[in-house]
Amino acid sequence: MRYVAYAVDLWGVTHATYELECDCDDDAKRRAVKFLEAHPVIEVWSGPRRVARFTADTAGGATATAEASQRQRTG
């Protein structure tokens, strides 16, 4: 599947895009989180669907939002 990882700033402006070819959402998320070394926020999209949003936390790790996962479970 084709995924796109967008490096966005805190206002949502895209500064870089990365095209990813992955087998599933989890693979795309694992690959995209590595871009946090260069960008504060990474969003992963599959077509019109946002798969995940990662932000670099103060400890240098990553925090992911689970909005997409929550919507899938409830919808």
Mean of the per-residue pLDDT values of the chain: 84
Closest to 42 in 3D by CA, of 15, 2, 71, 24 = 15
Domain count, the chain: 1
Instruction: Evaluate if residue 71 carries a pLDDT over 70.
Output: no
CA 21 to chain centre: 14
Range of the domain at 13: 2-74
* Cα–Cα distance measured from residue 46 to residue 62, given in angstroms and rounded to the nearest whole number: 20
pLDDT in tens, 31-51: 999 999 999 999 999 999 999
DSSP H or E segment with residue 41: strand 41-46
pLDDT confidence of 66, banded at 50, 70, 90?
very low
